[in-house]
Amino acid sequence: MAGKLTTHVLDIANGCPAADVKVSLHRDGQFVAHSATNADGRLPSPLVSGDSFFGGHYRLEFAIGDYFAARGHPDARKFLDLVRIDFIVDDSGGNYHVPLLVSPWSYSTYRGS
């Protein structure tokens, strides 16, 4: 079974998908990939999948300050700027979906399906 890593971003301050959020991925401290969310708050394709998906320590980075600033939110970059989520992949054959729910002041994540 070929695994993959996906994400999506929801803007909970405005109740909508977060479009045009820049996302980067690192594995074991090394840059792997970058992309940006579409109008549905999702990436156009997995950040990594199949034979390129290995176990290890991963970090997703979301440019949340840029996102809220581009929308003219008055609290952009007053608290959150770059949201980092560190996690471990121990089964590279599995699907890892790491959603981000975010406002200018807080965020939440979980391992989705």
**Those residues with Cβ within 8 angstroms of residue 47's Cβ, 6 or more apart along the chain or in another chain:** 5, 6, 7, 23, 25, 32, 33, 35, 60
Query: What is the rounded average pLDDT of the residues 76-100?
Result: 96
Tell me the pTM: 0.96
Residue 69 has pLDDT above 80, yes or no: yes
Side-chain-side CA neighbours of residue 34 (13 Å): 9
Residue 35 has pLDDT above 90, yes or no: yes
Query: What is the rounded average pLDDT of the residues 21-28?
Result: 98
DSSP 15: T
Distance CA 100, CA 35 (A): 15
DSSP 71: T
Contact 80, 104 (CB under 8 A): yes
Residue 87 has pLDDT above 80, yes or no: yes
pLDDT category at 2 given cuts 50, 70, 90 is confident
Query: What is the rounded average pLDDT of the residues 94-110?
Result: 97
Distance CA 70, CA 56 (A): 34
Q: Using a pLDDT cut of 70, give the percent of the chain over it.
A: 99
Residue 47 has pLDDT above 70, yes or no: yes
Distance CA 74, CA 1 (A): 46
- Show the domains of the chain with their CATH numbers: 4-102 (2.60.40.180)
First to last CA, the chain: 15
pLDDT value of position 1: 60
